[in-house]
Structure 1
Amino acid sequence: MGTLVGPVLSAFTTSKDRPLFRSPTASLPSSKPHLTTSRKTHHHEINTSRFGNFLHLKPESKPGCLDSDLPWFNTSDRPCFDVIIIGTGPGGLRLAEQVSQYGIKVKHEEFESTIQCDDGSELKASLIIDASGFSSSFVEYDKPRNYGYQIAHGIFAEVDSHPFDLDKMVLMDWRDSHLGNEPYLRVNNSKLATFLYAMPFDSNLIFLEETSLVSRPVLSYSEIKRRMEARLRHLGIRVRKVIEDEKCLIPMGGPLPRIPQNVMAIGGISGVVHPSTGYMVARTMALAPLVAEAIAECLGSTRMIRGRPLYHKVWNGLWPIERRLSREFCCFGMETLLKLDLVGTRNFFEAFFDLDPYYWHGFLSSRLSLHELASFSLSLFGHASNSSRLDIMSKCPVPLVRMLGNLALQVI
């Protein structure tokens, strides 16, 4: 295959898997499009903190590039490809791995797209796939990208002690008792709340993260760190060493790209981020084989389907009508969360986690069908308190009408 790749409301026991993927495809050296992408950065720190304060700790080493066994590619060796994938994040590598397994060989004639690199060279392909992240300018939209934003600051740290059960992780702790002596932070948190995520490894090693689930405009990063500092001080957690830190900003919701269009997308820029949770990586891994299969049906067939029929097939492989309708429902969920204050958010998630685990597991992992999402919404409303129902009904009619309108447009 000619493929190119370029640069406390609930606590329960769970685990995190971080799969690694390797690809035999090529990687561009200096010849790359101009792109600006946002990504998580990691630092290493070793200094001991003052009690309840870890923000002064200095990095021991600077962030480095990930090791990769992808061979360097000379753009003069082969100017034409079947598929070019821009971006070597998890989505791009996973899709490249899947596509390359089909061994497709295609002649390149009039149905091609072209990438112009910053060194002046040009690369052509039957299909160009953008996996370079949210800041890409290659993928086109018909509507304004009115994202909500999730922002978080996390540390994987060595501490003197912590109060958490070693057999459980805390998914969301919405308590604000730690802000009793912080009136400014408490007032802001009552409007735009943040929660603590905690995953202990042993009595002295723990991952802690303060998160704003969704806001528009985005909550400031300095505000997140101040709230986390106040929370750890209140919990009596003294950080001895920060092994790694995580800085996270995730655009959520907004419109889908124009479907179809000449440039295909995968990952964040394609709209697969869960609009209500910010989850994306596992879903991208699951969708990549479906997109690869759609590509193979066109470029690997004796008909050699290219041009607009190819774009239509691949885009609709990623976003069939039911998946689009399900996403509209999840966007409504995000818009609902944007309307709720701290008390409303607590009440909402109290009802959410009181549901049959099948529903809330399925919602968080994007596994519910459209019919199941409808049952989920009715069950959630039934489990909600009277005050929560009133809160949702009074604050969310506009998002509801917008969702119904978008659903009608998708069906038409």
Structure 2
Amino acid sequence: MSQDKAAGVTWRPVAAVTADIVICGLGPAGRALAHRCLACGLSVTVIDPAPDRRWSATYAAWADELPEWLDSGVRAATVQRPVAWTTRRHEVDRPYVVLDTARLWDSLDITGARVISERAIELGRHTVTSSSGTVATGARVIDARGIARSPALAEQTAYGVIVDAERGAGIEPMFMDWRPDNGADPGAPRSFLYAVPLGGGQMLLEETCLAGRPALDGIELRARLEHRLRSRGIELDGAETVERVRFPVQGGRPGRRRFGAAGGFIHPATGYSVAAALTAADAVAAGDSVWPPAARMVYALRSAGLRVLLTLPPTDIPVFFDAFFTLPTPLQRAYLSGRDDLRGTATAMNALFAALPPRLRRTVITAGLPRSPSSGPTSERGR
């Protein structure tokens, strides 16, 4: 260590690390990308302050979204026809897979990568400086650190408990259940029940705020969940494993140098991102662009969909989803999963608009939701 007395600056020796790719962040997206880069024979450096930290969240996806390379053993449970309760009961004709989080982590093996257990502080085009001053150099640098929370960004929040299947036997697997038996005031922001099997005789029951700015907090969601379950004959004893969820659904910036949530892979209107990142990992590892113009247009249209959800009066949200789940399955799939399917997304949104009651159509127009690509999706400036 030396000191420039004139400038009063202390200089520390810097260690340089060179690789084909440097990945910052080891959430599901970053770990999946590192895993697939190693499978392609690339040299990989990963930077994360807690690289061995296991994930605790529950991840799920539509079965047709998952890439072929993913180990089939990570599928904890499959619901062939999940239910969506809006103003009435809908069966979604599309298998839904709940992933085994621990097995997913293990399957995305990153043995062979150089691991720097520090925080990435400064990211350049070919270099990353860590909290200790280590400089990692690579042909490419990818930011997969997620999105920092901000009051300006809409968030998704949830509070859930894990119960044994016998206690949850009276509740069928639900993609979302908007029925008003959670004790909330009719004019209060809405939340829904998410109920899925986890395998191993367990079930997750989770009260979810789909998107809010601000979103409902965990205290309110817990009270609603307990009220809802009590009304259905399920009493909690406080010994249940708890799952808490809170993350922004806005703020990603599509581009070659970012991946996962940081790179715009979160579906703005649903909060789903893991399957999209898993599917795109091979293309990103190969250096291909995963943001062609069609994908950017789809992202803008989906962001407009989020604006509608944030604008709708609480009592109209189930009506909105009732219209969505009456759409043919291919159109539902296009909107939920077609990341670069511009024609399918626009067709789905136009069909949804036509299916809405006239009063909700006016709300949609006020919120600025384009009815087709020709009407010009709004700019994502500042997100």
Normalised by the length of structure 2, the TM-score is 0.67
Q: Secondary structure at the match of 2:346?
A: helix
Distance 1:30 1:17 in 2: 27
Relative to structure 1, the CA distance from residue 148 to residue 32 in structure 2 (aligned partners, 3 Å threshold; closer, same or farther) is closer
Name which of 220, 225, 229 aligns with 2:222: 225
User: What's the CA shift for 1:195?
Assistant: 0.2
% identical aligned pairs: 26
Conserved in 2, the CA contact under 8 Å of 1:159 and 1:205? yes
Partner residue of 1:71?
none
Which of structure 1's runs of 4+ aligned residues deviate more than 6 A? 201-204
TM-score (norm 1): 0.62
From 268, 271, 275, the equivalent of 1:278 is: 271
How many Å separate the matches in 1 of 2:197 and 2:278? 26
- Once residues 355 and 315 of structure 2 are traced to their aligned partners in structure 1, the CA distance between those partners, rounded to angstroms, is 16
Partner of 2:247: 250
Distance 2:293 2:357 in 1: 34
| Corresponding residue for residue 339 of structure 1 | 311
State which of 190, 193, 207 in structure 2 corresponds to 1:193.
Answer: 190
- Report if the CA contact (8 A) 1:145-1:255 is conserved: no
Give the match for residue 12 of structure 2: none
Q: Which residue of 2 aligns with 1:396?
A: 367
Name whichever of 196-205 and 281-290 sits farther off: 196-205
Measured after TM superposition, the shift of residue 241 of structure 1 is: 7.0
Partner of 1:384: 356
2:235 counterpart residue number = 238
Equivalences for 1:3-402 in 2 at 5 Å? 3-7=44-48, 8-9=85-86, 10-11=90-91, 14-18=96-100, 19=104, 20-34=107-121, 113-135=126-148, 146-158=152-164, 161-162=167-168, 164=170, 168-179=172-183, 185-186=184-185, 190-200=187-197, 205-239=202-236, 242=239, 244-254=241-251, 256=253, 259=255, 264-294=257-287, 317-367=289-339, 369-393=341-365, 395-397=366-368, 400=370
Aligned residues: 292
Q: Whose radius of gyration is greater, 1 or 2?
A: 1
Cα deviation code 1:280-326 (max 9, x no counterpart): 000001111111122xxxxxxxxxxxxxxxxxxx6xx0311110001
CA distance in 2, matches of 1:164, 1:326: 38
* Corresponding residue SS for 2:360: helix
- Distance apart, 1:201 and its partner CA: 6.5
Instruction: Kindly state the Cα deviation for residue 160 of structure 1 after the two structures are TM-superposed.
Output: 6.3
Secondary structure, counterpart of 2:227 in structure 1: helix
1:228 and 1:245 map into 2 onto residues whose CA distance is 12
Q: Report the structure, 1 or 2, having the larger helix content.
A: 1
Note closer, same or farther for the CA distance 1:366–1:30 as it changes in structure 2 (3 Å cut): same
Unaligned runs of 5+ in 1: 36-85, 87-110, 137-143, 180-184, 295-313
Shift of residue 390 of structure 1?
4.0
Over aligned residue pairs, what C-alpha RMSD do you find? 3.3
